[in-house]
Structure 1
Amino acid sequence: MNPDESGLSAEERRAVRSWRRQIERHQRKIEDFQRQRSVRRGMEAMPDELIEAQRVARIRHLESEIRTFERSIDAVLSKGSGGKP
Structure 2
Amino acid sequence: MRLVSRLADAVEHEYDQEEGAALREQADRLTLIDRWRHFALDQPVLVHPGETIWREDDHLLVQRLDGRVDAYPGVMNRCRCRDRAQ
Whether TM exceeds 0.5 here: the answer is: no
> So what's the TM-score if we normalise by structure 1?
0.27
* Relative contact order higher in (CA < 8 Å, ≥ 6 apart): 1
Higher helix share: 1
